[in-house]
Structure 1
Amino acid sequence: MRINENTLLEGEKVVLVPYNAYHVPRYHEWMKSPELQQLTASEPLSLDQEYEMQRSWREDNDKCTFIILDKQLWSDPMVQEEQCMVGDVNIFLTDPNDFSLAELEIMIAEPSYRGKGLGKEVTCMMMCYGMSKLGIQKFEAKIGLDNTVSIAMFKKFHFRELSVCKVFKEVTLGMTVDHSIRTKLLGDMAYVKERQYQIPPSQPTGADAMTMT
């Protein structure tokens, strides 16, 4: 989505940056994992297909994607941005007749970063961004039935069960943002800084990025 192509969001534990071509090789390595394929209901792609997917996510008006970075590593000027990557977060506008409804999807790809509160902060940051910048009023999350950790996290945010699909082995959770929820979320996340994203000088861009291995 073009709206976030130059946006950086800085929290306490994480930094969210737009998904660019130089992030693709690391992302592609993640998605070779059968565990992540199962958790995200994804099929394995070739590297070229992954680059094409990145371009579509950047261009399409119904997808808003950020890469999640470890803030501590990101703060070190000697560490390249690709080395700071720990996952991604997406907002999908799933109903062309209702732009106030969005599906929220979070992936902490690096196992060593799970269970450390990153998913909680990222969820709050992305919901605030969706409400403030995209006018989202209703959020849904589709989660595999075996992913009890993610289900429990969303329920802590007052998402409730909407449906269960036994064929795809997933549950759909949802929440409507009322005034009290909006006020609390925006207040709790007032520390988040939004700034202009600058492409790291060491990173290739455009066609050059597609030659990375």
Structure 2
Amino acid sequence: MKINENTLLEGHQVILVPYNIEHVPRYHEWMKSTELQQLTASEPLTLEQEYDMQRSWRDDSDKCTFIILDKRQWADPSVEEERCMIGDVNIFLTNPLDLSLGELEIMIAEPTFRGKGMGKEVTHMMMQFGVAKLNIQKFQVKIGLDNEVSIAMFKKLEFQEVSVCQVFKEVTLEMMVDECVRTKLLNCTSHMKERDYRLSRSRGTVMSQT
């Protein structure tokens, strides 16, 4: 999706940046993991297929994707951005007849960064971006039944379980975006800063403005 191609979102612990070509090799290495394939219901791709997928996610109007960076590493200009990568987050517009419905996906691919509250922060940031920029009025998540950590996180965020599919072994949870949810999102993301990603190469300058 072109809407976020020059967008950087800065949180307390994470930085969200567009999924660019230089991110593909590390993303490809992640997706060789059987665990991540199962958690994301993905099939293994060749490196060339992964590059094709990156172009699709950048250009297609129904996909909005950010790469998640560890802010502490990213703050050091000597560390290459690809080394700061810890996961990705997506909003998919799955119903062409209802563009206000956004399917949310988040993956913390690096195990050492799980359980630190980063997934919760990323979710709030992406939801706020979806509401403000994409006019999302209902969020949906589909999670494998054995992914108890993610299910618990979204239920704690007040997503409601709406169905369980035993065939695909997944649960669907949803949240309607009413005024109460809008207010909570604004409060949870009051620290978030939106910047021009094209200027992020001068990381010291960006951080000094924080």
Q: So what's the TM-score if we normalise by structure 2?
A: 0.94
Residues 100-120 of structure 1, C-alpha deviations (whole Å, 9 max, x = no match): 101000000000000000000
Measured after TM superposition, the shift of residue 200 of structure 1 is 6.6
2:180 is aligned with 1:180: yes
Residues 64-213 of structure 1: matches in 2 within 5 Å? 64-198=64-198
Residues 8-43 of structure 1, C-alpha deviations (whole Å, 9 max, x = no match): 000000000000000000000000000000000000
**Aligned sequence identity (%):** 72
Unpaired segments ≥5 residues, structure 1? 202-213
SS in 2 for 1:181: helix
In the alignment, the residues of structure 2 paired with residue 19 and residue 177 of structure 1 have an alpha-carbon distance, to the nearest angstrom, of 26
In the alignment, the residues of structure 1 paired with residue 168 and residue 24 of structure 2 have an alpha-carbon distance, to the nearest angstrom, of 27
2:54 is aligned with 1:49: no
Size of the alignment, in residue pairs? 202
The residue identity in structure 1 corresponding to 2:59 is E
In the alignment, the residues of structure 1 paired with residue 187 and residue 70 of structure 2 have an alpha-carbon distance, to the nearest angstrom, of 23
8 Å contact kept, 1:81–1:200: no
In the alignment, the residues of structure 1 paired with residue 79 and residue 102 of structure 2 have an alpha-carbon distance, to the nearest angstrom, of 34
Worse-matched range after superposition: 9-18 or 192-201: 192-201
RMSD between aligned residues: 1.2
In the alignment, the residues of structure 2 paired with residue 144 and residue 184 of structure 1 have an alpha-carbon distance, to the nearest angstrom, of 27
In the alignment, the residues of structure 2 paired with residue 200 and residue 16 of structure 1 have an alpha-carbon distance, to the nearest angstrom, of 11
Match of 2:206 in 1: none
In the alignment, the residues of structure 1 paired with residue 142 and residue 82 of structure 2 have an alpha-carbon distance, to the nearest angstrom, of 28
Residues 62-85 of structure 1, C-alpha deviations (whole Å, 9 max, x = no match): 000000000000000110000000
Unpaired segments ≥5 residues, structure 2? 202-210
Q: So what's the TM-score if we normalise by structure 1?
A: 0.93
